[in-house]
Structure 1
Amino acid sequence: MKKIELLAPAGDLEKLKTAVDYGADAVYFGGEMFSLRAGAGNLTVPEIREGVEYARQRGCRCYLTVNIYAHNEDIEPLQTYLRELRGVPIDAFLVSDPGVMEVIRGEFPSAELHLSTQANMTNYRTAGFWHRMGVKRLVLARELSLAEIREISQKSPEGLELEAFVHGAMCISYSGRCLLSSFMTGRDANRGLCAHPCRYRYALTEEKRPGQYYPIEEDSRGSYILNSKDLCMIRHIPELAESGIVSAKLEGRMKSAYYVATVVHAYRRAIDAYYRDPEHYVFREEWFRELCKASHRDFTTGFYFHDAAAEDQNYETSAYRKEYSFVGVVRRPADADGFAVVEQRNKMSRGERIEVFGPDIGFFCQEIGEMYDLESGEPLESAPHPQQLLRMRMEQPVKEGYMLRRRIEEP
């Protein structure tokens, strides 16, 4: 049985390297233009070169998103941009606009093309059409059930691959084809500028009573009528593996490196455990608990098992659940005296309990003890400065890239 690919988001170069280090089989990322996540850090052309080299040296594939719906003024800049990428061994281009596909083919005749979920791929006849157009892989619409995915897989041409989102934010509109942001804020979601109005708090107004807001529900907090829960399929690896998809995709190019590490780490362990012994596979609750240590909304399985219903929405709040704070990342392994170089990411102080985790371990707990400013050598009681470099005593061996987190105490 061929193992499904774990495909991770890479919103910038640090996140790309983090995804690779924590076990992704492939990463997808955007450049500074022509990607549907303009709010992510994204990668410059030199960073794309560096990131692709880093990933490929570690056996990880690289997919570049060029999935906007282009306007006339986008075509010539797109051609110029693609020419800057010549010589970079990108494994595939993620596209949705047929015109953009033609431009890519003109610059990279042998390029592998993956169809973005923006193209609303929902049936096997459409799958056959895109296969005839030379597309290698289809990213399925989030609105499909497992039964529909299995049927598409069974009736698709040989060699056509299917990819599906398995974790992350859900869009209230059909496969991301949304005009709310453009209408309300002038920011076009289909050109990478979504303002996420589906997460706004809404109330009712009457045209002759401006400024008077009436709650839609009998609740003083108002109503988040368009606010979906987050997708989470980590409990259903066997069903995903048997559905016919070749790639399990994680959403989150705008999330933090800590989020990427946490989610990739959890799914990596669950997928590997399944393929080691599919017949006797048992889901381990610790994988889900680890997943929840990254900020998230309440979870849903989306459309995989049933049509979306009221329980798949959160009408009370669009806020994230956040139980842990990302406080540091190891930049240099511990020396003979047990001191590692740590880059601060949020304030931490001596005496606090932290958890340390990495791609090749679960996690261990320790109390923050001796801590020194790396540059001055001065002892510290706390590290309040963003990205301050510290010498910190570690109770167990750590490697570069390990992360430190602290549980947020309830008020």
Structure 2
Amino acid sequence: MNKPELLAPAGNLEKLKTAINFGADAVYLGGSKLNLRAFADNFTAEELKEGIEFAHSRGKKVYVTVNIFPHNEDLVGLEDYLRELYDIGADAILVADPGIIMTAKEIVPNLELHLSTQANTVNYKSALFWHNIGVKRVVMAREMSMEDFKKLREKLPESCEIEAFVHGSMCMAYSGRCMLSNYLTGRDSNRGVCAQPCRYKCHLVEEKRPGEYHEITEDINGAYILNSKDLCMIEHIPELINAGINSLKIEGRMKSTFYVASVVKAYREAIDKYIEDPESYSFESKWMDYLLKPSHRHYTTGFYFDEEIRQHYESSAYIRDYDIVGIIKSYDKESHIATIEQRNKVYNGDTVEVLVPKGENKIIRLQDMKKENGQAIDSAPSAQMIFTIQCQEELKADDMLIKSKKDK
């Protein structure tokens, strides 16, 4: 049995380090050009170099997205950019456009190519076509079923790797190739600036057929007829592994550090447990608890098992029951003082959960809060302020403090 790669999103350098610390085997990210998340922080050349060095020093990989559908003007500087990615050690680039693929093969022939899901590959013949022209890995379309993946693995040579999305936001358009944003806002989703109009409130009206209505579910505020649920395959790790998928991919370069940590932790534990002993494997409810705490929409298994309802009609809002309130910067074992960087306002006496990369999370109470200068404080209200607490429970750098919104 081959152990699949766990591939996590990295919207910035902090998220890259978080993903790797919490168990990702590889991360994917956007550099300064030609990626489909223009509004993410993305990486400067120096940040990208630092991120790659951080990953490689821990035996992990970094894939860079170069997956827009470029117009002529987008191709200016492409050759230099590809050389830069190769020179700083990117392990692969994600591509969708044949022109970019051709250029990469000419300029950086030794740089590994992964075909983006934007290429909407849904069958083994198409995957074989891309593999035969130099693509090492194919990121399959989200519209694939589990049976499709099994057939795919049977038909493809082992040299052609298969990657599949297993968690995160779903696009209502086929493989994300949507034109709504272009027409409604002038922002091209296929060039990285989608406005997500599929999440807007909608009323369905047929202009030329008065009195002829399409039955949809709606409330007094309208209907969210294009609002997809989030994908979640945490309960189906055995099926994913046995289907022969090489890389299990988490969506979310625009998501929070808290999201990255929680989701990676859940899938890391589930994968490892199944690989360790498939015969005695059983799903653990705590993994779903990890996934319910960061911001998310209602979950679905998408197209894997032909689930009938993949849209959520009541609201386009995210479910946000927990907030990240701090990140541990250091812990002194002798004095039992933890130094924390604030992420959301938190109060002295609050009970918080400590999200740790390995093992069971901990519950602690914030006691004896002080500023860096030793002044006692009742709360930490300022963004990213540094404060300390007394804590008998040993904490470690990069542990994450989260707090339920229900706890006042």
TM-score by length of 1: 0.95
- Residues 105 and 206 from structure 1, CA distance in 2 versus in 1: closer, same or farther, beyond 3 angstroms? closer
Q: Does 1:274 align with 2:269?
A: no
**Pair 1:387–1:132, CA change in 2 (3 A):** same
Q: Distance in 2 between matches of 1:206 and 1:121?
A: 34
1:130-176: per-residue Cα shift (whole Å, max 9, x none)?
11111000000000000011101101133100000000000000000
Deviates more, 1:351-360 or 1:333-342: 333-342
Asked if structure 2 preserves the Cα contact closer than 8 Å seen for 1:131 and 1:157, the reply is: no
2:288 is aligned to 288
CA separation in 2, counterparts of 1:396 and 1:172? 46
Are 2:333 and 2:394, in contact at CA under 8 Å, matched by a contact in 1? no
Correspondences of 1:6-405 after superposition (within 5 Å): 6-204=6-204, 217=217, 219-306=219-306, 308-309=307-308, 311-374=309-372, 376-405=373-402
Q: How far apart, CA to CA, are the structure 1 residues paired with 2:120 and 2:207?
A: 37
Matched to 1:48, the amino acid is L
- Say whether the 8 Å CA contact 1:366–1:395 is kept in structure 2: no
- Judge conservation of contact 2:218–2:224 (CA < 8 Å) in 1: no
Deviation at 1:76, TM superposition (A): 2.0
Kept in 2: contact 1:348–1:383 (CA 8 A)? yes
CA offsets, 1:163-220, max 9 Å, x none? 0000000000000010011111111000111111111111245879xxxxx9965621
Q: CA RMSD in A?
A: 1.7
- Which amino acid is the alignment partner of residue 378 of structure 1? Q
Distance verdict in 2 for CA 1:204–1:381, change over 3 Å: same
Secondary structure at 2:377 match in 1: coil
3-state SS in 2 of match to 1:359: coil
In structure 2, the CA distance between the partners of 1:218 and 1:193, relative to structure 1 (3 Å rule), is closer
Percent of residue pairs identical: 51
Q: CA deviation at 1:77?
A: 2.2
Question: Hey, what's the Cα distance between the residues in 1 that align with 2:217 and 2:117?
Answer: 33
Q: Which amino acid aligns with 1:401?
A: D
For 2:169 and 2:86, how far apart are their aligned partners in 1? Answer: 33
Residue identity matched to 2:355: F
Provide the C-alpha distance between the structure 2 equivalents of 1:354 and 1:337, rounded to a whole number of angstroms. 21
CA distance in 1, matches of 2:216, 2:63: 43
Q: Equivalents in 1 of 2:291, 2:51: separation in Å?
A: 25
Partner Cα separation in structure 2 for residue 217 and residue 365 of structure 1: 41
* Structure 2 residue identity aligned to 1:290: Y
DSSP-derived class of the 1:346 partner: coil
**Does the 8 A contact of 2:26 with 2:60 survive in 1?**
yes
* Distance in 1 between residues matched to 2:268 and 2:392, nearest whole Å: 26
Instruction: Report the CA distance shift for 1:166/1:401 in structure 2 as closer, same or farther (over 3 A).
Output: same
Report the Cα distance in structure 2 between the residues aligned to 1:187 and 1:260, rounded to whole angstroms: 27
Cα distance, 1:86 vs. partner? 4.3
Partner of 2:211: none
Paired residues of 2:83 and 2:108 also in contact (CA < 8 A): no
Query: 3-state SS of the aligned residue for 1:122?
Result: coil
**1:19 and 1:260 in contact (8 A); partners too:** yes
Count of matched residue pairs: 403
* Cα separation, 2, equivalents of 1:175 and 1:86: 28
What is the deviation of 1:304? Answer: 0.2
Greater Cα shift, 173-182 or 153-162: 153-162
Equivalent residue letter for 1:371? M
Q: For 2:377 and 2:113, locate their aligned partners in 1 and report how far apart those are by CA, in whole Å.
A: 52
Structure 1 contact 328–405 (Cα < 8 Å) conserved: yes
Measured in 1, the distance between the counterparts of 2:206 and 2:251 equals: 38
State the alpha-carbon separation in 2 of the partners of residues 350 and 75 from structure 1.
54
CA–CA separation in structure 2 for the residues paired with 1:217 and 1:113: 43
CA displacement, residues 44-91 of structure 1 (integer Å, 9 cap, x when unaligned): 111110000000111111111100011111112222322333421111
Q: Structure 1 residue 407 and structure 2 residue 404: aligned?
A: yes
User: Equivalents in 2 of 1:83, 1:130: separation in Å?
Assistant: 22
**Partner residue in 2 for 1:211:** none
Deviation at 1:127, TM superposition (A): 1.2
- Is 136-145 or 330-339 further displaced after alignment? 330-339
Contact 1:216 1:222 in 2 (8 A): no
Q: Which amino acid aligns with 1:320?
A: Y
Residues 328-348 of structure 1 deviation map (CA, whole Å, 9 limit, x = unaligned): 001112341111110000000
Distance 1:372 1:314 in 2: 44
